[in-house]
Amino acid sequence: MTIKTVSTTPYDDQKMGTAGLRKKSKVVMQENYVENFVQSIFNVIGDAKGKVYVLGGDGRFYNDIAIQKIIKIAAANGVSKLIIGRNGYVSTPAASHIILMNKLDGGFVLSASHNPGGINGDFGIKYANQSGGQAPSQISDKIYQESKNIREYKIYESEDIDLSELGTQKLGDMTIEVIDPVKDYAAMMEQIFDFNALRQLFAKGFRMKFDAMNAVTGPYAVKIFEEMLGAEKGSVINAKPLPDFGGLHPDPNLVYAKELINIMNGKDAPDFGAANDGDGDRNMILGQNFFVSPSDSLAIITDNYALIPAYKDGIFGVARSAATSTAVCRVGAARNLPCYEVPTGWKYFVNLMDSKRITFCGEESFGTGSSHIREKDGIWAVLFWLSIIAATGKSVAEITKAHWQKYGRTYYIRNDYEGVPTEVADKLMADLEAKLPTLKGKSFGAYTVSEAAPFIYNDPVDGSSTKNGLIIKFANDSRIIYRLSGTGSSGATIRVYNEQYKKDDLTGDSAEVLKPLAALAAEIAEITLRTGKTKADVTT
């Protein structure tokens, strides 16, 4: 066995987006594509001697191959140790926990999150640093620059490593420890929540369905909900991780989690429903015939922090991405908690958590979490909701409606226009940005523009400044936000976020209530004229 130096040609597209490098599987399968990217990371890290990383993924197509490449490149670059989930599985939240618990130098999670998998689907690599969160832009930009100039990489020449058995093995000087990816994560959840109270809930006959969408959370959910908490067997559906997710699009929302929606809206629906995405950081919460918008979920979780053992003595503050509804900030204001507004992407919460400015945070895109780790956490959110139910004895719908009674309701929908040519999308955004100053004070029917500007975030910790999206605010407590997706693998997706706050009038249908605002949003940005689309491809 030897270390080989291989000469290579750089790719020019290895730029990380909202959450790591995300590409079509076939792009990642090109010669030396993974090798170039991973070597670029090690080049930016510098001396890897003594460093320890976690490695794993959501089990999607090409995970097994990419993992072997990363193991061999890590060994050749002098990494001391890799901690790898058995069979190469680790969820994004569990990886973050492993980094923090063991004080590791970072990790690699192989996932394209909620995007479909398979040879015609997507693949991705997320790189985390010692914070337990994804590397900040200052670092990912350096990696991108490096990847455009890379000329060679180092790789250990050896047989593939067997990852099916727990235990320790060596590759040259590097130690490889294969661990049970579920065990420590489950133990952490047991420390945060009152598992006895949850066991009692299930013992009384409470029924739930959790849809793991044939992705990585299956083993986590079976262990925690069925084995530890006593939910009836079969409560977790689509529990076995499959390379192509069984053809599912593992995005837990009303469009893609159809099987679960049908169960929850059907006869004899269980009391509670939830789903997670491919790598286990997103969640959707459902009651019988009832959907909790992620922005509301964050607000409700925040309002109920004192019910959970780990937070009962108080929380520091809360944060949401700018595109997430303002609901959580109303709870913050009422409870004297600071409420931060950051760009889209979990990495922007990390500094706020590290500096103890916030404890909870979330995004409208089905992401909720707390400072127990530095990623959003799907199962954590589900356990939080179950805990609220156990403590209050109320249903999901009752909890949510009571919240609206108390704080008013923030109606919210997001319209996505997908597959737009990049030039068209870029021009639309640039022209819209140029037009913003002329909109102020203008009235469109009931909507009078009070503010119109790009969203600019100045990080209070590291002083960096990020521009992300365009916001138009109206005098009647409504907002429109436009931004381009940073997680797509081809073309552009224009996201248009619509929100309207109502103190009364709490029982409307979101799509109905927001119809005029959504139409106005499309009109202001000239969406139909420029994209030819008369309606959004996906509405969530």
Interface residue list for ligand G1P (CB under 6 A): 18-19, 113, 321, 344-346, 363, 365, 367, 485-487, 495
18 binds, among ligand G1P, Zn ion, none (CB under 5 to 8 A by kind): ligand G1P
CB of 342 to ligand G1P, least distance (A): 11
* Pick 19 or 337: Cβ nearer ligand G1P: 19
- Output phi, psi for 85, to 5 deg: -65, 145
Sheet strand arrangement including 122-129: 21-24, 122-129, 106-110, 52-57, 81-89, 174-179, 167-171
Which residue out of 113, 295, 297, 478 is catalytically annotated? 113
Q: Show Cβ contacts of residue 512 under 8 Å, excluding neighbours closer than 6 positions.
A: none
Say how far apart CA 380 and CA 350 lie, in whole Å.
17
Query: Taking CB under 5 A as the rule, does residue 18 contact Zn ion?
Result: no
- What 8-state DSSP symbol labels residue 307? G
Q: How many residues does this entry show for the chain?
A: 540
Nearer to Zn ion, 211 or 281 (CB): 281
- Output the smallest distance, CB 322 to Zn ion, in A: 20
Q: Which does 447 bind (CB under 5 to 8 A by kind): ligand G1P, Zn ion, none?
A: none
Applying CB under 5 A, does 253 fall inside the site for Zn ion? no
Residue 345 contact, options Zn ion, ligand G1P, none, Cβ 5-8 Å cut-off depending on partner type: ligand G1P
If contact means CB under 5 to 8 A according to the sort of partner, which of ligand G1P, Zn ion, none does residue 378 touch?
A: none
Please, what is the Cα angle at 375 between 232 and 401, to 5 degrees? 60
Give yes or no for a contact between 3 and 157, defined as CB atoms under 8 angstroms apart: yes
Could you tell me the smallest distance in angstroms from the CB atom of residue 365 to ligand G1P? 4
Task: Output the residue with the shortest Cβ distance to Zn ion.
Answer: 113
Considering beta carbons, is residue 198 or 248 the nearer one to ligand G1P? Answer: 248
C-alpha to C-alpha distance for 387 and 196, rounded to whole angstroms: 10
Interior CA angle at 113 toward 111 and 115, to 5°?
105
Residue 74 Cα distances to 5, 68, 170, 280, 467, angstroms: 13, 10, 12, 25, 34
140 interface partner picked from ligand G1P, Zn ion, none, CB below 5 to 8 A per type: none
Closer residue to ligand G1P in complex, CB, 225/346:
346
Q: Is 113 a known active-site residue?
A: yes
Query: Across-strand partners of 20?
Result: 17
Six-digit token string for 329: 């900030």
Distant-in-sequence, close-in-space partners of 490: CB < 8 Å, separation ≥ 6:
24, 419
Alpha-helical (H) ranges within 62-136 are 63-76, 92-101
Rounded to the nearest whole angstrom, what is the least distance from the CB of residue 63 to Zn ion in the complex? 14
Please, what is the minimum distance in Å from the beta carbon of residue 348 to ligand G1P?
Answer: 9
Of Zn ion, ligand G1P, none, which one sits near residue 344, judging by CB under 5 to 8 A according to partner kind? ligand G1P
**Sheet with strand 360-363: strands edge to edge:** 339-342, 318-321, 360-363, 367-370
Identify whether the C-beta of residue 64 lies closer than 8 Å to the C-beta of residue 28: no
CB of 111 to ligand G1P, least distance (A): 10
Q: Based on CB atoms, which residue is closest to ligand G1P, 321 or 351?
A: 321
Residue 486 touches which of Zn ion, ligand G1P, none (Cβ within 5-8 Å per kind): ligand G1P
Nearer to ligand G1P, 48 or 112 (CB): 112
Cα distance between residue 112 and residue 91, in whole Å: 12
Whole-number minimum distance, CB 306 to ligand G1P, in Å? Answer: 27
| 8 Å CB contact between 522 and 528 | yes
Residue 18 vs 253, nearer CB to ligand G1P? 18
Instruction: Map residues 478-517 to x or -, x wherever contact with Zn ion holds by CB under 5 A.
Output: ----------------------------------------
Which of the ranges 59-67, 111-119, 133-141, 238-246 carries the binding residues for Zn ion, by CB under 5 A? Answer: 111-119
Contact of residue 107 among ligand G1P, Zn ion, none (CB under 5-8 Å per partner type): none
Cβ proximity to ligand G1P, 59 vs 345, nearer residue = 345
250 within 8 A of 364, measured Cβ to Cβ: no
Stretch that binds Zn ion, among 107-115, 309-317, 469-477, 529-537 (CB under 5 A): 107-115
In three-state secondary structure terms, 55 is: strand
Q: Which stretch binds Zn ion (CB under 5 A): 5-13, 110-118, 324-332, 402-410?
A: 110-118
CA distance 46 to 49: 9
Position 281 contacts Zn ion (CB under 5 A) = yes
Number of residues in contact with Zn ion under rule CB under 5 A:
4
Q: What is the closest distance, in whole angstroms, from the C-beta atom of residue 362 to ligand G1P in the complex?
A: 9
- Write down the least CB distance from residue 345 to ligand G1P, Å: 5
HEC secondary structure over 313-371: CCCCCEEEECCCCCHHHHHHHHCCCCEEEECCCCHHHHHHHHCCCCCEEEECCCEEEEC
- The residue (of 242 and 524) whose beta carbon lies closer to Zn ion is 242
113 binds Zn ion (CB under 5 A): yes
Nearer residue to Zn ion within complex by CB, 122 or 279: 279
Residue 226's binding partner out of Zn ion, ligand G1P, none, with CB under 5 to 8 Å set by partner kind: none
Q: Which two tokens stand for residue 240?
A: 């076995």
Locate all alpha helices (DSSP H) within 393-505, ordered by sequence.
396-407, 422-439
Q: Which does 279 bind (CB under 5 to 8 A by kind): ligand G1P, Zn ion, none?
A: Zn ion
Which of 35, 58, 251, 279 touches Zn ion (CB under 5 A)? 279
> Residue 16 CB, nearest distance to Zn ion (Å)?
15
Q: Which residues contact 21 (CB under 8 A, 6 or more apart)?
A: 14, 15, 37, 124, 125, 126, 127
- Catalytically active residues are 113
Query: What are the residues binding Zn ion (CB under 5 A)?
Result: 113, 277, 279, 281
